[in-house]
Structure 1
Amino acid sequence: MRPLYKFLIIVEAIIGFGPLVLLLGLGLITIPISIMGILDGYYGALIMLLIEVGGFLGMFAFISVLMHILEPNRYFLSFIKLRLFIICGFCSILGFVFMSGINIELIWLLIPVVVAAHFIYLGRRYVFSAS
């Protein structure tokens, strides 16, 4: 792969996943709050905790796919874990949208979904290979 294409893919990843990384960083604050809420009997906090954990798993999966796109001969996760983590990431985004309320202001969440679909397409041999 030419260096220009690698650079453009990295820029696409930064633009596409930058807002989600910021949300995951802010979500680190909510993890202890969610755990305390669960211990107090408020099980709605479990949804917030699952969204945060799913977001981290999804981000780890898409970083693995990105690294595979940049270095096609290396595999960073097993195929089953990769697929599971990708599904967790998509469910985390959907959970955040439903928890925030579906409105037009959350249209910016389509950008990471489109970038993730593009990465899955570029790394399709890695993601969809027989395990």
Structure 2
Amino acid sequence: MIIVEAIIGFGPLVILLGLGLITIPISIVGILDGYYGAMVMLLIEVGGFLGMFAFISVLMHILEPSRYFLSFTKLRLFIICGFCSILGCAFMLGVDIELMWLLIPMTVAVHFIYLGRKYVFAAS
């Protein structure tokens, strides 16, 4: 059931990250041309990949509790980057009732953090 929850919760974000791979080179060229608004898109993409990596690490720890995949400080930093990326995406698209689907990944992420709380909140 945890795997199904992860697929349903993070599926749309994985699709957005995949589409964002197209915008990374465009953002880099924009930054080099002096358009620093492209930096926001680049940071959202990088934060999304770091957050996805963190939640995959937490998911793997939930499935295999004896293994630790990231150091505790990196894990917390990556989780914060993921949440900031989701919020940044919501604010860039304009906070609206149509963006309620962004609450699903945040709810699943909070659930995973709760299930892996001994890993996420362990003493460094």
Give the alignment's TM-score, normalised by structure 2. 1.00
Q: How much has 1:115 moved relative to structure 2?
A: 0.1
Letter in 2 for 1:20: L
Instruction: Provide runs of 4+ in structure 1 moved above 4 Å.
Output: none
Q: Which residue of 1 aligns with 2:28?
A: 35
Q: Which residue of 2 aligns with 1:77?
A: 70
Q: Which residue of 2 aligns with 1:119?
A: 112
Structure 2 gaps, min length 5? none
The structure 1 residue matched to 2:85, chosen from 84, 92, 96, is 92
The structure 2 residue matched to 1:16, chosen from 9, 12, 23, is 9
Q: How much has 1:97 moved relative to structure 2?
A: 0.5
Letter in 1 for 2:118: R
Q: How much has 1:42 moved relative to structure 2?
A: 0.3
Q: How does 1:94-109 map to 2 (within 5 A)?
A: 94-109=87-102
Q: How much has 1:99 moved relative to structure 2?
A: 0.6
Q: Over residues 76-103 of structure 1, what are the superposed CA-to-partner deviations in whole Å (9 max), with x where a residue is unaligned?
A: 0000000000000000000000111010
Q: Which residue of 2 aligns with 1:3?
A: none
Q: How many residues get paired?
A: 124
Q: How much has 1:15 moved relative to structure 2?
A: 0.3
Structure 2 distance, partners of 1:129, 1:18, is 28
State the superposition RMSD in angstroms.
0.2
